[in-house]
Structure 1
Amino acid sequence: MPTFAQLSLSTGWNFKSSDDQSTEAWMPVATVPSVVHQDLIANKQLKDPYIGFNELDARWVNEKSWTYRNVFQKPAVPSGSSVILAFDGLDTFATVKLDGNVILESDNMFLAHRVDVTKALESDGEHVLEIDFDCAMLRARDLRAKDPNHKWVGFNGDPARMGVRKAQYHWGWDWGPVLMTAGIWRDVRLEVYSARVADLSTQVDLAADHQTAQVSAFAEVEVADPGASYNVNFVLSLHGKEVARAVAEPKDKVAKVVFEVNQPSLWWPHGYGDPTLYEISCSLERDEQILHQTSKTMGIRTSEVVQRPDKHGKSFFFRVNGVDIFCGGSCWIPADNLLPSISAERYRKWIELMVAGRQVMIRVWGGGCYEDDSFYQACDELGVLVWQDFMFGCGNYPTWPDLLASVEKEAIYNVRRLRHHPSIVIYVGNNEDYQVQEQSGLTYNFEDKDPQSWLKSDFPARYIYEKLLPSVVEQMSPSIYYHPGSPWGDGKTTSDPTVGDMHQWNVWHGTQEKYQIFDTLGGRFNSEFGMEAFPHMSTIEHFVENEADKYPQSHVLDFHNKADGHERRIATYLVENLRAAADLETHVYLTQVVQAETMMFGYRGWRRQWGDERHCGGALLWQLNDCWPTISWAIVDYFLKPKPAFYAVARVLNPIAVAVRREHHDWSVSHAQPPKKSNFELWIASSLQKEAKGMVELKFLSVNTGREVRQRVVHEDVTILPNGTTNIIVDGVLDYKELPEPLVLAARLWVDGKIVARDVDWPQPFKYLDLSSRGLYVQKVSQSENQQTLLVSAEKPVKCLVFEERDGVRVSDSAMDIVPGDEQTVTITGLKAGAAPLKYKYLGQ
């Protein structure tokens, strides 16, 4: 019997504009996967759309159709074998022809396709594979025009996008360009076999005491001779060592075995235990000959979303292996507009950054794509939980019968592809489509439980989110919780803070509240919130070509910020809090200070609420990353350079974090009159599973002199509650008659004799403070070939000390507050001996 063979079709391609019939029009494609913009750039037909205003010069590409062609030799086909042409992803309206005959028509970017071409390849020699990619933008507009009765309402991009199963951000978003890609965006290959394992999956039943687990393994097989006898050999391994082995004969095309695992090593999110992965492998055999073999990794764990009535309403938090997890993390957009350019290594670097930033959950947002396998594999290996949206975002989607059929195939294919990843703990129907329903006045009667009536309403996509998708998840991945939308909570308004998850945009968008009160605006799970900041100067210098454009409000900088009203919003938050700057470098830094402070105020307060009956179950900031070099809400820019907010969040998410905060005094409402008194609070948040003992110190330091202006408070032998909040001071008072100077409250926490956490509360707003002449000292105290250590101290309190971010260089901490008498160390990795020292900046410098 012939064994499974695979022939990549990654090379040998050419492409051209479909309407150019000349033979000279064909241009070479270096390799696929690729999209047309990459291939045009490689052939010098298009300038990099990420530079300057080049995106505008690339708009012509969006309205064209493209043809790709490959001439290949027929592979060796042993007797009894089939030949399958496999496409893992075609973007988007694709007509595939083999030797002039149409063999496939696809209109869904998120689907894979397998076409049996055995008969088509009977003749030896060369065969011509041609793919016509019709213009998605024009096709979308045609589809919209054919259904004028549908209410085409939504946020961002051309509303016609909702009729097309293509990554919605390609139509442009409030952080990204309009780049309508087309092409072979995932792998294409020929497969030759007489039998194969079509799918390998597992189901895990972990005992309540975690002492045993039952792992059921399923192999779905395709065989040319269904009357023949086949066996499937399964092996379960851990760290390369065999744990168990079993063999089964397929019945109804599925072979199943059950492994009993004693003392299983569990998969945990990072910070809670090791993200242990088992390997399940199987080989399809006949007459002792291996015809095909495959393997996957999987984890032994339980996950659930706990929703129960309590004094705040109804909880919404995640529990893994019986442990409640406060899910501090981020939302994820595609890491590039040109998706094939994202390598597995780049995906992993993003997830490594999350772990370095102590973030435990990533939310794959519904306007992008179901990500590459390497993204989820990195999350599995590094212990990052995944919140997975389905690909519907910010719109009222139509439900034509052929579109529903395509969506169902898309959901089945992707849940089936992703279900072995232990990192995925929730599937969510859409992003903000219920908000569109509310704001547009579309029909939604939660009490109506008739799915057919939903299809006849002016909000027909409810059928997708509350009938179609949950049915697929229940069928394909029954152990994973399904949530109809984000935000959503039991059919109540999406802004209801007592139930479900919410997107809190009344800082930045909406009512533009002060960021200092962010924690009072949250709900049971805050799955979106954010504040814009400029990227680092090195990133700005990448896309700003002319030196004359390097000023804060330049045309090209505004062009690279796609957020509506960003000029006035950035200006508002800057002018309310900081002294304005005319030079670009300082302006960049000031926006980053505001973003860091905003994220700190939100995360710090919401994490405290975790200890109050899980009042807040998690916080996922918008957003971790960018899809091009831009100005956005990202806390790490396109080139993987962390902004100060990245470090501010990491400190708040420390396993044990101390926090001090005085009450907010709204200086703008009080006409800049200072308060006479302020209440303050001091507490500790812990994600540890065991009680700890510590010592807390709180100092009161003059901003102007650095001297202590009130006797410090010390609490020794403090019992730190596990996985919750320990309140140290809840009724502290600052009397400004006795303390006339502006002062900071500086808290430190010792555990086992070591300082494990710090926090500094500053008088607000910063613009009223004189922060010059701080007496800051940054001294190199050690240097190895690839690493150096800095000792940082100050004579007066220093706000937001930020170190330069360089390619290949990582700093252990940044955006730091430094107070007198508290030296801190910073480790710099990747900076070679003899290299120029990192530059740094602090507020008021």
Structure 2
Amino acid sequence: MLVSTPLHGWTLYGPRLPETGIPARVPGCVHTDLLAAGVIPDPLLDRNELEVAWVGRSDWRYRTQLPAGQGHERTDLVFDGLDTVAAISVDGRPLGHSRNMHRSYRYDVTGLSGVLEVDFTSAYAEADRLRAELGARPNSYPEPFNFVRKMACAFGWDWGPTLPTAGIWRAARLEHWSVARLAEVRPEVTLRADGNGHVAVHLIVERTGRKPVTATVSIAGLATHVALEPGQDTATVEIIVPDADVWWPRGYGGQPRYQCRVVLSSNGSALDEWTRRVGFRRVELDTSADEHGTGFTFVVNGRRVFARGVNWIPDDIFPSRITPARYRERLGQAAAAGVDLVRVWGGGIYEDEAFYDVCDELGLMVWQDFLFACAAYPEDEPVRAEVEAEARENVVRLMPHPSLVLWNGNNENLWGYVDWGWQRELAGAEWGEGYYLDLLPRIVAETDPTRPYWAGSPWSGSWQQHPNDPDHGTTHSWDVWNRRDYTGYLDDVPRFVAEFGWQAPAAYATLRRAITDEPLWPDSPGMLLHQKADDGLGKLARGLTPHFPPPADFDTWHYLTQVNQVRAVATGVEHWRSHWPRCTGTILWQLNDCWPVVSWSAIDGDGREKPLYHELKRLYADRLLTFQRRDGRLVLAAVNQSRQAWIGSIELRVVHVDGSMRGHTIPLEATPDSVSLVELPTGIEDPSRELLVADCDGLRATYFAAAFRYPKPDFRIDVDEESVTVTANTVLRDLLLQADRLSPDARTDRGLVTLLPGESVVFRVSAEVDPATVPGAIRCIESHER
């Protein structure tokens, strides 16, 4: 039987280190080893990112002892991930080279033992060499990430630090085996129209000789055997599972999975084994034309889905630090917020198996980008061969996961070619189009025909339309935030919004842990380094201007920018969801952060939920009430994405700031997967003193006219050990309890809340509450709102 032995006892050598080196952790990276040894300060704190810039431009050596193989015909040295440009040798004898972070490497070391060395060259040096050899290519950022197959955002992004590292970032081991091993297992898992599951397992074996072997494939209590005679290295085994239990996205049904097992044997003795959990479901992408343009709708098991999504970036700038527990926590937060789709963005990594396992379990659909983002990429060798090897390996690795619903060619590169001046700069040079429209769709069609492929995001489906045409395919909405107020979301109805978002700072406790500036201010030195967006502070200020006067202090700035983020995202999502089925999905930029930063995230770099996170629970719930405009008039949209009809009564009230109100009861009936537009029997007579409130089945929609003048807030606070109750004596808009200001470890179950006079809200807190700290942790909109 194949025996796997992890390699331990690594030492790191390089500049500014003693001749004896320092202990190295594998999996790991240079930065984390240097940090553990006290050689560098924490690069994520204050301005330390600049202090450690030398690390990414240096060469490094990892060394350990390679033991001799025992009792097997063959011993392989296997690296699941080398980051990135490395030469591997044993006692000075070269074994091979790596130039791709996103694939694995295997070397025959049978009979070898001695000193194993992995010498890493700076990724900058490799990128600069290839750029000089192949010619420059346009890039949205100053760093040359498009010339090396490495996590692009390691070189910095508009939300991330510039910390390109090196190291053995995934497992390193010896594999000892005899006769044969399973070199590749590729399961095509589908759900047939008759309700039966179909599994076609394609096998490739590697041999040491010509002995016959047998592969046994089992699933759901069924087993099939296939004999591979000498010289036969491939086989396909098919199994039908009658009346298979169906895997569904969360909210639509359960997530049953079956264990699929492949055992390779010879003369009755097991040689190798492969086991994964798979799920039966059918995924289609409906891109048919209609009166509005060209659609983009996920259809899962025959049901059309409005995707409630978030974009995912690497959860740590040093991905080797991301544990299965951390994946589970972050994805669990997403599911708890109503998310049903996670897009793995193309400037990051193909995530660890643990990520996709949790998505399978939670019913989170995965949109997987191939790893190209915001740049023109050379199609010349040696880059092209690396791209193909990387794509084929990762398609095979990830295709067992039922959560995976889409392969996407790239992020913004087709758009960039048209709108960002690339054509002039390229002067006819290849830039990646051949990957997105030829190589990658061929690989998916050949390797994983059970899933759809889309060439890019955004992409209209054809060069006949602009790549970011909102009437066709997928759209990125960045004119809003970069140049326009969030009310600009109301100007069109995209078919599918794959990126949109609005910035806000991390939680106060997160900023205070990471930045020691005194006084802390939006443009203090540490804060500026933790704001990576081009003119990010200016855009935050201009975003506040139409709605609020300039903040007088940091705490007010922090609160109002959080409020603005919530309002911006709510404006977009409510508008787009109310236009189902014309609009069929929104993917918020972004769920998470990789360090403490001012960004578009709903969860900050320390894992703390921003107010936006709690707002997602409302925006992404199965049922949503929202005031919307249709043909110039105000209506109430009841969005029903649940599987049951929504039948109830709407309590509509016009509320005056003095607490008086006039109301109406309106019947509601919304069929499953529909939007019901309800005409309003009354409206606001005094926009400066009245607001509209609609309540139904515990859901609420509010409408404030731009001219509304808020009274001076008046409320009572009651505190017990683990909750804070606020009772309103006046209208309170966007009331917020900032739990981390009570205690850095405290969390609360709510974000922004609007209360009418006489109403109360209970904030449950995950730590004991000191009453003295509560007043300083509560904010709401003051009378000075514009």
2:275 to 295, 300, 311: 295
**Pairing partner for 1:200 from 185, 195, 201:** 185
Q: Which of 25, 31, 39 does residue 31 from structure 1 map onto?
A: 25
Cα distance in 1 for partners of 2:736, 2:568 equals 16
Where in structure 2 are the equivalents of 1:378-457 lying within 5 Å?
Answer: 378-442=358-422, 457=428
Equivalent residue for 1:462, pick from 429, 433, 439: 433
Provide structure 1 residue ranges, at least 5 long, that are not aligned to the other structure. 122-126, 238-242, 445-454, 665-677
From 736, 754, 766, give the equivalent of 1:802: 736
Among 708, 731, 743, the residue aligned to 2:690: 743
Alignment-mate amino acid for residue 525 of structure 1: F
- Structure 1 residue aligned with 2:532: 562
What is the identity, as a one-letter code, of the residue corresponding to 1:16?
A: Y
- Give the one of 622, 635, 639 matched to 2:589: 622
Q: Give the alignment partner of residue 613 of structure 2, picking from 631, 636, 646.
A: 646
1:636 aligns with 2:603: yes
1:774-820 superposed Cα distances (whole Å, 9 cap, x missing partner)? 3255565xx7xxxx566554232222222334576553332222224
Letter in structure 2 aligned against 1:78:
G
Classify the secondary structure of the residue corresponding to 1:800. Answer: strand
Q: Equivalent residue for 2:553?
A: 583
Matches within 5 A, 1:598-617: 598-610=568-580, 614-617=581-584
Q: Percent same amino acid among aligned pairs? A: 31
Please tell me the root mean square deviation across aligned C-alpha atoms, in Å: 2.5
Q: Where in structure 2 are the equivalents of 1:726-805 lying within 5 Å?
A: 726-729=676-679, 734=683, 736=685, 739=686, 741-750=688-697, 755=698, 757-764=699-706, 769-777=709-717, 792-805=726-739
Q: 2:457 aligns with which of 478, 482, 486?
A: 486
* Residue number in structure 1 paired with 2:60: 66
- 1:531-573 CA distance string (max 9 Å, x none): 1101111011011124x13123212211110111112111111
Asked if 2 retains the 8 angstrom alpha-carbon contact of 1:62 and 1:181, the reply is yes
Separation in structure 1 between the aligned mates of residue 385 and residue 773 of structure 2, nearest angstrom: 59
Question: Per the alignment, in what secondary structure is the counterpart of residue 641 of structure 1?
Answer: coil
Counterpart of 2:125, as a letter, is L
Deviation readout 1:213-269 (Å, 9 max, x if unpaired):
22233443333333x2322233324xxxxx323333236334543332222211111
Q: Is the 8 A contact 2:715 2:726 kept in 1?
A: no
Correspondent of 1:119 among 104, 111, 114: 111
Offset of residue 487 of structure 1: 0.7
Q: Distance in 2 between matches of 1:604 and 1:812?
A: 22
- What is the aligned counterpart of 1:231 among 214, 220, 223? 214
- Work out which of the residue numbers 670, 686, 699 in structure 1 matches 2:653: 699
CA distance in 2, matches of 1:218, 1:837: 62
Q: 1:536 and 2:507 equivalent?
A: yes
| Distance in 1 between residues matched to 2:617 and 2:302, nearest whole Å | 25
1:352-363 correspondence runs (5 A): 352-363=332-343
Q: Which whole-Å CA distance do the structure 2 matches of 1:276 and 1:799 have between them?
A: 43
User: What TM-score comes out, normalization by structure 1 length?
Assistant: 0.87
Amino acid of the structure 1 residue aligned with 2:11: N
Quick one: distance in 1 between partners of 2:291 and 2:59?
58
1:57-113 C-alpha deviation (Å, 9 max, x unpaired): 1111121111111124324x215x210000011111100011111101111111100
2:567 alignment partner, one of 578, 594, 597: 597
When residues 429 and 587 of structure 1 are mapped into structure 2, their CA distance, relative to the original with a 3 A threshold, is same
* Superposition deviation, residue 606 in structure 1: 0.5
Residue of 450, 465, 476 corresponding to 1:503? 476
Using structure 2 for the length normalisation, give the TM-score. Answer: 0.93
Amino acid of the structure 2 residue aligned with 1:630: V
The aligned length equals 772
Matched ranges for 1:322-337 at <5 A: 322-337=302-317
Matched AA of 2:767: L
Shift of 1:443: 5.2
Give the deviation of 1:439 after TM superposition.
Answer: 2.5
1:249 to 227, 234, 238: 227
Match of 1:713 among 664, 673, 688: 664
CA distance in 1, matches of 2:676, 2:394: 43
Is 1:78 matched up with 2:71?
yes
Please say if residues 681 and 732 of structure 1, whose CA atoms lie closer than 8 Å, have aligned partners that are also in contact: no
Q: Which amino acid aligns with 1:590?
A: L
In the superposition, relative to structure 1, how do residues 292 and 567 fare at CA in structure 2: closer, same or farther (>3 Å)?
A: same
| Larger CA deviation: 384-393 vs 793-802 | 793-802
Q: Which runs of 5+ in 2 are unaligned?
A: none
Partner Cα separation in structure 1 for residue 693 and residue 759 of structure 2: 10
Structure 1 residues 624 and 287, CA, compared in 2 at 3 Å: closer, same or farther?
same
Q: Deviations over 1:478-520 (max 9, x none)?
A: 11111111111122212311101011111111xx222134133
- The separation in 2 between residues aligned to 1:319 and 1:727, in whole angstroms, is 25
- 1:841 and 2:775 are equivalent in the alignment: no
- Give the Cα separation in 2 of the matches to 1:99 and 1:465: 42
Residues in 1 aligned to 2:759 and 2:255: alpha-carbon distance in whole angstroms? 35
Distance of aligned partners of 1:142 and 1:231 in 2 relative to their CA distance in 1, 3 Å threshold: closer
Structure 1, 352-361 or 641-650: larger mean CA deviation: 641-650
Q: Which amino acid aligns with 1:598?
A: A
Residues 1:6 and 2:4 aligned together: yes
Whichever residue aligns with residue 83 of structure 1, its letter is T
Secondary structure of 2:285's aligned partner: strand
CA distance in 2, matches of 1:592, 1:92: 38
2:160 aligned residue: 176
The residue aligned with 2:140 is 155
Local SS of the residue matching 2:163: coil
**Structure 1 range deviating more: 794-803 or 90-99:** 794-803
Query: Which amino acid letter does the alignment assign opposite residue 168 of structure 2?
Result: I
Amino acid at match of 2:59: S
Give the Å deviation of 1:707: 2.4
Judged with a 3 Å threshold, the aligned counterparts in structure 2 of structure 1 residues 371 and 578 are, in CA distance, closer, same or farther, namely same
Matched to 2:541, the amino acid is A
Deviations 1:105-124 (A, max 9, x none): 11111110011110334xxx
Q: Tell me by how many angstroms 1:663 deviates.
A: 8.5
2:754 to 817, 831, 834: 817
How far the C-alpha of 1:732 sits from its partner, in A, is 6.1
Contact 2:313/2:344 (CA < 8 Å) preserved in 1?
yes
Runs in 1 of length 4+ with deviation above 6 angstroms? 833-838
After superposition, the C-alpha distances for 1:300-322 in whole angstroms (9 at most, x for unaligned) are 00111111111111111111111
